[in-house]
Amino acid sequence: MNGIQVRVARQEDCPRMMELIRELALFEKAPQEVTVTMEEFTEAGFGARPVYKAFVAEANGAVIGFALYYIRYSTWKGCRLYLEDLLITEEFRGRGVGSLLFDELIRECRRQGFNGMTWQGLDWNEPAIGFYRKYGAALDPEWLNGSLSKEQILGFEEIAGE
């Protein structure tokens, strides 16, 4: 891609990455679900104990997309890269930027010796499904996603009767 550069994310990219996260949340019809603060986001990636890494795509010095990942351990498969989010600002979608980022993730898996890569996608996001199918990805409709909110965790003793 002409003029598009992929590089490792830096701490100063966090404000733009948060803007893109909010843009994604709007696209996914869930803007109220973004509750992480800038401080939490920055600390989680660039603080004393980082839990995620990311690659960013730039055009003319501006971040236009990113791929955020962390290491997941599978008792069946071993260490795998878990892709939390791959997102491109709307203006640049459909121009191959996602492929540049996804290709870099695959190279990272190879560099680190990971046993694979996993991610989740929404069943109604046809462009994303088509994108992953181009890579020959296996898309599994059988697994359900579970989660507990921060409020549920903080209220655990109340729920458990402790």
Active site residues per annotation:
132
CA–CA distance, 3 with 126 (Å, rounded to integer): 27
Q: Cβ atoms within 10 A of the Cβ of 13, count?
A: 20
Tell me the DSSP string of the chain. -TTEEEEE--GGGHHHHHHHHHHHHHHTT-GGG----HHHHHHHHHSSS---EEEEEEETTEEEEEEEEEEEEETTTEEEEEEEEEEE-GGGTTTTHHHHHHHHHHHHHHHHT-S-EEE---TT-HHHHHHHHHTT----SSPPP----HHHHHTHHHHHT-
CA–CA distance, 6 with 150 (Å, rounded to integer): 33
